[in-house]
Amino acid sequence: MGAVTIFLCGDVMTGRGVDQILPHAGDSRLHEEYVKDAGQYVQLAEAVSGPVPRPVSFSYIWGDALEELAHVAPQARVVNLETSITSSNDYWPYKGIHYRMHPDNVACLEAAGIDVCALANNHVLDFGEAGLLETIDTLAEAGLTSAGAGRTLTEAREPATVEVPGEGRLLVFASGDESSGIPSGWAAARDRPGIDVLPDLSEETARGVLERVGRVKRARDIVVASIHWGTNWGYQVPAPQQRFARQLLDGGVDIVHGHSSHHARPIELHRGKLILYGCGDFLDDYEGIVGHEAFRDDLALMYFPTVDADSGRLVSLRMTPMQIRKLRLTRARAADAEWLARTLARVSGPFGTRIQLGTDGTLVLRAD
């Protein structure tokens, strides 16, 4: 039996404040109601955690996550990149928040060895179609594969492919649901750039996704459906999301990689296959912003599912707790890892999933 280990995480938001500390800080002007300069988000982080060096190396933001990636050595690394990579100033009107990273800072993604960037989210078009196209081109020029966005709907629906020597391929299909705040005008069309926006979470829509999967999936391929959906806060998983995820797994998808929530949401093992309903933020500039402290959005998880290449069934799931501090990832303290384990165990319990804290400080999944 061959097995493949994948690194998955939630939202990687390297725009705005994070962009300002990288070597090639872009235009810091913002179009938000209260904050007009991205540097203010750095100042918020400094107010609670102390001075943040500027400029930092491209690897700085990943912090201790790089050591963990080297230790686990996953065969593929997949993130939801929730920012545009552009110098465009053509920001999307009537939208309160806009994220962008300067194209010359794309090396920060290379520093973590990222293979696939899912782009079907509610920030990749913050600076219009020109910003989206520059994002796609910048990633491609850096040797990173993207999924979920394109010059046409056909291109947006094409999977990102990672060859796994000796095992097969990892195929990542990325799409987004309007429940995550994606503007309706962002949907790609036959003659319009954009992202793959799901019209709804119906059985018919799921069948459409599965038809596309079926056309390209070969023996020993592992398929990830990376979906941006749901609200920012709370642990409740709406019934349509549950039905949609299970239908995908029953029809040929092997992992549902959900994201959009600012904190981790429940985990389910459906007929031996993994559903991550919400992976939470992984990198952002929210440090110092108050209002939802009970959810501990400063804590992040590195998800390392190991999947049987023949059946697509989960062999094991290891999760490494991290904390965002000074706009970089550090290992979570023991008390914080315990809090994450208790919280995920509580919210995942109704799905028949048990989460335990291992002796090495990582979280592991145990299915009833």
Domains of the chain: which residue ranges? 3-367
Our CA angle for 298, 60, 28, nearest 5°, is 80
Rounded to an integer, the average pLDDT of 5-12 is 98
Per-residue pLDDT band for 273 (boundaries 50, 70, 90) equals very high
Contact 235, 265 (CB under 8 A): yes
**113, burial (CB in 10 Å: exposed 0-12, middle 13-18, buried 19+):** middle
Residue tagged 């194209």 (tokens): 103
Measured between alpha carbons, how far is 225 from 230 in angstroms, rounded to an integer?
Answer: 15
Is the model's pLDDT at 143 over the cut of 80?
yes
- The pLDDT-based confidence of 94 (bands split at 50, 70, 90) is confident
pLDDT of residue 130: 96
pLDDT higher than 90, residue 167: no
Average pLDDT over residues 54-77: 98
Residue 364's beta-bridge partner residues? 318, 356
State how far the Cα of 367 lies from the Cα of 117, in Å rounded to an integer. 29
Answer whether 116's CB lies under 8 Å from 146's CB: yes
Class of domain 3-367 (CATH, top level): alpha beta
Listed as own residue / partner, the contacts of 184-190 with beta carbons closer than 8 Å and 24 or more positions apart are: 186/122, 186/125, 187/153, 188/149, 188/150, 188/151, 188/152, 188/153, 188/155, 188/156, 189/152, 189/153, 190/152, 190/153, 190/154
What pLDDT, on a 0 to 100 scale, did the predictor assign at position 367? 58
The number of helices, as runs of H, and strands, as runs of E, in the chain is 9, 21
197, pLDDT greater than 90 = yes
Share of residues in the chain with pLDDT > 90 (%): 97
Is residue 205 within 8 Å of residue 198, measured between CB atoms? yes
Q: Alpha-carbon distance 289 to 286, whole Å?
A: 5
Contacts of 139 (CB under 8 A, 6+ apart): 81, 85, 106, 109, 117, 145, 146
pLDDT band at 1 (very low <50, low <70, confident <90, very high): low
β-bridge partners, 314:
307
Q: How confident is residue 126, by pLDDT bands cut at 50, 70 and 90?
A: very high
pLDDT of residue 166: 84
pLDDT at 311: 95
Does position 122 have pLDDT exceeding 90, yes or no? yes
Mean pLDDT of 8-25: 98
- How high is the pLDDT of residue 366? 75
Query: What band does 187 get if pLDDT is binned at 50, 70 and 90?
Result: very high
Q: Is the dihedral of CA 309, 314, 315, 321 positive or negative?
A: positive
Name the average pLDDT for the chain: 96
Q: Which whole number is the average pLDDT over 219-241?
A: 97
SS3 state at 253 = coil
State the Cα–Cα distance between residues 305 and 6, nearest whole angstrom: 6
* Residue 275, token pair as written in the block: 């559903």
Residue 294: count other Cβ atoms within 10 Å of its Cβ: 8
* Nearest partner of 106 among 132, 77, 135, judged by Cα: 135
Q: Per-residue pLDDT for 83 more than 90?
A: yes
